[in-house]
Chain A
Amino acid sequence: MTMFHFFNCAILTFGPHAVYYSATPLSEYDTLGTSVKAALVYLGTALVKLVCLATFLKVSENDGFDPYQELLKAVIGFIDVAGLYFALTQLTHRNISQNHKFQAVGLGWAFADSVLHRLAPLWVGARGLEFTWDFILQGLEANANLVLSISLAALGSLMWLRKNKPKTLIPIIYACAGIVATMPSITRSVLTFSIHGRLCNEY
């Protein structure tokens, strides 16, 4: 039952995006065009990030935690933010309210991310006879990524599209945006430190 497993993992990975689109008022206002454009912007951003990573990052021989490299990776993560800014502000959208704009952009962003990062491994791996938990974990990761992208788009729209922001909340908004943008680096460093700590405790 290998196509069955592929089907299961596929609906876990891509289902929430479709559900989100149909459940919220996005489908009523026909914001598909916005999502598609956001997906294309994500593609461009991914290519730029790839080139930057290849140029500036050195391949380390040992699997140690190199703070300089991690910092560089976090900085390159901000290219993501730049891409999102471009998608939110520069693209000409039809008359859709700000509320729906950020949702559509976030959805398109997350969908493109899932397709680019997870479709190929899923197609190649999940159809085989051998069973592993990897693809289910990947699907859960896609779900988390959806939430992350939409929250990032929301913060972005708050920062750049709202003209009248309450003064007190501005620093909080920027801080939250910074944290969310560098979330992948934060999770990776937390994981490495916890593993390091556990290994040290064992000795």
Chain B
Amino acid sequence: MANSKKPGGLREMLESMYSVIALLFILVACVELCDAAAAVDVYRLIQYDMSGSPFGSRFAALNHHAASLHFPPGVDLSRTVLIIPLRELNITFVREYINQKKPLGGLLVLLPEVLSFKTGGNNQVHEKEKMKNLLAELERLLIHSNIPYPVYFAFENDEIDTVLADIKKNDLMGQPATATTGGYKFVIPTAEPKKVASPTMTNIQGWLSGLKTDGDANQLPTIAIVASYDTFGAAPALSVGSDSNGSGIVALLEISRLFSLLYSNPKTRGRYNLLFGLTSGGPYNYNGTQKWLRSFDQRLRESIDYAICLNSIGSWDNELWIHVSKPPENAYIKQIFEGLSNVAEELDLKVGLKHKKINISNPRVAWEHEQFSRLRVTAATLSELSVTPELLESTGGLFDTRQYVNETAIVRGVKLVAESLARHIYGHQGKNIQIFADESSLAVNPAYIRSWLDVLSQTPRVAPFLSKDDPFVMALKKELAGHVDEVNVQHETLEGIFTFYDSTSARLNIYQVASVTFDLLLLLVLGSYLIVLFSFLVITTRGLDDLISLFRRPPSRKLKTA
């Protein structure tokens, strides 16, 4: 009895040991390797399709050696990542590479740290204009090209600067990094980018009711103030659009705040309704505004006296432009323009009028007021831009950061719009009455503008990457709700000619690798070391004859038996 139990127990113990060993092997194989020389946050170039044609960078994963601009000429770069700091960027070089479809493993552009909204702070930018022009040109080139390799942006910091200096040194010595010569390897382990399924646009509208007396049978007239809040840029994770259109949003919020103060008291409530609209889909021919307007019922649309759209009012000196689509001789347009220029004169600034006819058959909508005009609502856009922007231009790109916006410009813009609106509402046209005078309780609040501008300058707002319940959109809604009577949120799908792909930011791992030749050499050295050790030990312990006998075949036995 006792004997039969023992082998069974032993077998059980062996089995449990095997399972423990198997578990150990699995654990050991899963050990994670995180031993990079440096890890950097990088932001990918946008990838989108427009009417089926692909644009932007079509790949996301990266696993190649790195080289700088000092690479020896004639070397093959199809498995190399070029790392270029912005100050050394030559736009013609990049344009040549892209247009001639030269093969490249990847491109990493290093932006100056001061442009980063996470670490740059509010330091001033040196050579503002030059950097702005260079970035604008680079962005225009990259957005409208089809690039078959990954393109990433990163901000310079100490780690990556030392890596870059090292790479340059190696390149100047004529040894670009490849598999056989060692060097630095850039690895970004992300999955293949997928299409963003049904991207949403969220329009937020706020309604401030006017004072309805008993005698009014009809609906009160409405004035609309609209600004689009989303952006589009070369690096969607960096498109904060401080000027385009952060300045517009901030101005709209401040105007709503001022009028909510006026309208809270029935004695000062005007006989006009005010409709505030924060629309999405701005860069895509103001698609969101169109859908928002289409959702109005006929009576509301007919009751809109006029609409003022705000677009980029953050970095102007003395001149603003009013863009209209109806001819300037039109009575309503004249009224709006005169109202604004009267106030402008008092504020010591100039407003000019620009007329651009709309072509109904052309789907291109360059200004927000055109969407109103297509539905026969009088509208105008107030902007610092004098030239009509092209598609996907002036929509908040790489250079549109906090440092390029001047909050006093926004304050003056708010004053201009608010005063002219108030004069129209209360019937003070032509009279020199300052409702929103400085030092009064209705003064424009620069601190409010500054704090909202700072928040906006740290939030990238590319519409397809904003979910339905994105916290920023909710915050805008909440802020507007604090100033108006009623807030409505409308979700629409961003259809049409644009398709977007995800994967906008990643983490770059930089490894310093040894070349294959080094490993082979090491193997050779170790092999010879072990052979020498073996022979030494055999000779000292068993004698030289034994060593020689190892290499001699034992004498054949057949001879003996025969």
Contact = CB atoms under 8 A, between A and B. Distances in A.
A130 B541 contact: no
A167 to B, nearest CB: 29
A19 B519 contact: no
Contact of B33 (A7, A23, A25, A124): A124
A7 B33 CA distance: 17
B530 A25 contact: no
B516 A1 contact: yes
Contacts of A22: 534
Contacts of B35: 125, 128-130
Contact of B526 (A1, A11, A128): A11
A12 B516 CA distance: 18
B535 to A, nearest CB: 8
B211 interface: no
B512 A131 contact: yes
B513 A16 contact: no
A4 B541 CA distance: 33
A19 B534 contact: yes
Given A8-B519, A8-B523, A23 B533 contact: yes
A8 B534 CA distance: 17
Interface string B500-531: 00000000000111101001001100100010
Contacts of B541: 23-25
Given A4-B519, A23-B538, A24-B542, A127 B533 contact: no
Q: Which of B37, B512, B522 has the most CB of A within 10 A?
A: B522
Given A23-B541, A124-B33, A130 B526 contact: no
A84 B516 CA distance: 43
Interface of B: 28, 31, 33, 35-37, 182, 185, 187, 511-514, 516, 519, 522-523, 526, 530, 533-538, 541-542
A199 B382 CA distance: 70
Contacts of B530: 11, 15-16, 19
Interface of A: 1, 4-5, 7-8, 11-12, 15-16, 19-20, 22-25, 123-125, 127-131, 136
Nearest to A16: B533
Contacts of B516: 1, 4
A135 B523 CA distance: 14
B513 A129 contact: yes
Nearest to B63: A129
Contact of B187 (A8, A19, A125, A129): A129
A24 B535 CA distance: 10
Contacts of A131: 182, 511-514
B522 A25 contact: no
A16 B531 CA distance: 10
Contacts of B182: 131
Contacts of A1: 514, 516, 519
Contacts, number: 69
A125 B538 CA distance: 34
A138 to B, nearest CB: 14
Contacts of A12: 526
Contact of B542 (A11, A25, A123): A25
A129 B185 contact: yes
Contacts of A19: 530, 533-534, 537
Given A4-B516, A16-B530, A131-B182, 19 more contacts: A1-B516, A4-B519, A7-B523, A11-B526, A11-B530, A12-B526, A15-B526, A19-B537, A20-B533, A24-B538, A123-B31, A125-B35, A127-B33, A128-B35, A129-B36, A130-B512, A131-B512, A131-B514, A136-B522
13 contacts: A4-B516, A4-B519, A7-B523, A8-B523, A24-B542, A127-B33, A128-B33, A128-B511, A129-B36, A129-B513, A130-B37, A130-B513, A131-B182
A19 B526 CA distance: 12
A19 B36 CA distance: 35
B220 to A, nearest CB: 69
B7 to A, nearest CB: 23
A129 B511 contact: yes
- 9 closest A-B pairs by beta carbon, nearest first, are A23-B537, A129-B511, A131-B514, A128-B33, A128-B35, A24-B541, A4-B519, A130-B35, A130-B511
A11 B533 CA distance: 13
A23 B535 CA distance: 7
Contacts of B36: 129-130
Nearest to B510: A130
Nearest to A129: B511
Contacts of B533: 16, 19-20, 23
Contacts of A4: 516, 519, 523
A7 B522 CA distance: 11
Centre residue among A4, A22, A23, A124 by max chain B CB count within 10 A: A23
A16 B31 CA distance: 27
A100 B65 CA distance: 53
Nearest to A8: B522
Contacts of B535: 23
Contacts of B511: 128-131
A114 B526 CA distance: 17
A7 B519 CA distance: 10
Contacts of A24: 537-538, 541-542
A4 B514 CA distance: 11
B511 to A, nearest CB: 4
Nearest to A5: B519
A124 B31 contact: yes
Contacts of B185: 129
Contacts of A124: 31, 33
Given A125-B35, A129-B513, A8 B538 contact: no
A117 to B, nearest CB: 17
A97 to B, nearest CB: 13
A131 B514 CA distance: 6
A155 B289 CA distance: 91
A19 B185 CA distance: 36
Given A11-B526, A124-B31, A130-B36, A20 B512 contact: no
A145 to B, nearest CB: 15
Contacts of B526: 8, 11-12, 15
Nearest to B511: A129
A56 to B, nearest CB: 32
A136 B526 CA distance: 11
Contacts of A11: 526, 530
Nearest to A131: B514
A23 B531 CA distance: 10
Nearest to A23: B537
A7 B182 CA distance: 18
Contacts of A5: 514, 519, 522
